[in-house]
Amino acid sequence: MAPDSDPADSNQSDDDGLDWDQPSAMGSMPKSALNRLLHIRICKGDGEQVREILEFGADATAATGRGTPFIVRAVRGNLIHHTVVAALLANGADPFSQDAVGQTPLDHVRRRLEMYEGKPRRTPRRSPCLDEHGNLKLPPWEQDHLDEHLAENPETGPDFIAEYLRVRRKAAERTFDSRAELEKMVPLLERAMARHPR
């Protein structure tokens, strides 16, 4: 490309081989890579990210390398969220899927809920990165890093920092209440099973 030409007028790839005119590199990923990424996002318990990767063609009916269906993995993990289960069900996951010992997602949810029987509810803790008014407060090292990035990248820095703070706030606002999430999963799975009886 000529030095004085506008990169927006070109359909060339950058040095890393990505075509920056494409809306996303995920659109050209093979199904196996999309499914691996879906598994990672399920493990993170982030319904928004799961929906996003499903829109790019990941398979909601896929299974882990050990044969555990993703819908089962979504209810057995440490970071669970009902929106992950909802996204998988909305994209064709089978609510009757079974793990290696024949347990369905609903079986796992009910078994996990039994652990909470008779125990008082705990109030989910807020992130220490939120002040009493819900404003994001970054530790000094993180703020210094963002300031340094902005100084080094005056053109793209503001957009990067805005997106970084959006994602950072989302993470800080998230509370982990497995009991409440499991309780929300029961009706989701029961409705899905009722719609497709065996």
* Confidence (pLDDT) at 15: 42
- Residue 8 belongs to a domain: no
Half-sphere exposure of 143 (CA within 13 A, CB side): 6
Q: Examine the pLDDT at 172 and tell me if it is beyond 80.
A: yes
What pLDDT shows up at residue 52?
Answer: 93
What CA–CA distance (Å, rounded) separates 17 from 191? 45
Both 65 and 162 in a single domain? no
Helix axes 82-90, 47-55, angle to 10 degrees: 20
CATH of the domain at 74: 1.25.40.20
Q: Are residues 181 and 100 in the same domain?
A: yes
**Same domain? 36 vs 70:** yes
pTM equals: 0.73
CA distance 83 to 50: 9
What's residue 26's pLDDT? 63
Instruction: Confirm whether 12 is domain-assigned.
Output: no
- As given in the structure block, the two tokens for residue 176 are 């982990």
Instruction: With a cut of 80, say whether residue 28 has pLDDT above it.
Output: no
Q: Which pLDDT score, from 0 to 100, does residue 126 have?
A: 77
Residue 7 lies in a domain: no
The pLDDT of residue 11 is above 90: no
Same domain, 47 and 61: yes
Same domain, 85 and 62: yes
The pLDDT assigned to 72 comes to 97
Q: Which residues pair with 63 in a beta bridge?
A: 69
Determine which helix (DSSP H) or strand (DSSP E) holds 70, and give its type and residue range. Answer: helix 70-76
Mean pLDDT, residues 11-39: 64
Q: What is the pLDDT of residue 92?
A: 96
Q: Is residue 101 part of a domain?
A: yes
Please report which residue ranges of 79-177 form alpha helices under DSSP H: 82-90, 105-114, 140-152, 157-173
* 154 in the same domain as 68: no
Q: What is the pLDDT of residues 36-46, one digit of tens each?
A: 999 999 998 99
Does 15 or 86 have the greater pLDDT score? 86
Q: What is the mean pLDDT of residues 13-33?
A: 57
Q: Are residues 110 and 132 in the same domain?
A: no
Residue 78 and residue 57 share a domain = yes
pLDDT in tens, 140-149: 999 999 999 9
Domain of 111, in residue numbers: 29-121+176-198
How many distinct structural domains can be found in the chain?
2
Mean pLDDT computed over 147-160 = 92
